[in-house]
Amino acid sequence: VQLQASGGGLVQPGGSLRLSCAASGFTLEHYRTGWFRQAPGKEREGVSCISSDGTIYYSDSVKGRFTISRDNTNNTAFLLMNSLKPDDTAVYYCAAGGGYYCRYPMWSGPSDYDYWGQGTQVTVSS
């Protein structure tokens, strides 16, 4: 069972990035899939979650700017990040939790997930 996150990098404020999370060894569609981020000196925070049925949650800090999606054919989840701000700078992680649904409000807590990717650095700076 493995999750491989990729797509991070350095981007200017106002720019966009798309993160990918490729799953292997299990069917991502059958799990709730979340994106988290952790900035230096801060706790890991939930950014978004997508359920098997397509139900989606976003944190207030990214709502309207970030879009989570999943490609079931390729067993991959995505996080499209638009209008990036310096405060979005962090290591971003994807995670999968047993059970089909993102549960409110637990979806934003790391303990609700069983499998984690290795993280990809996103830096927003001019």
pLDDT digits (tens, 9 = 90+) for 11-62: 999 999 999 999 999 999 999 999 999 999 999 999 999 999 999 999 999 9
- Per-residue pLDDT, averaged over 87-108, amounts to 92
**pLDDT value for 10:** 98
Helix, strand, coil percentages (3-state) for the chain, rounded to 5, are: 10, 50, 40
Confidence band for 104, pLDDT divided at 50, 70 and 90: confident
| Radius of gyration (C-alpha) of the chain in whole angstroms | 13
pLDDT band at 106 (very low <50, low <70, confident <90, very high): confident
Name the residue with higher pLDDT: 7 or 109.
7
At CA 9, angle to CA 5 and CA 10, rounded to 5? 160
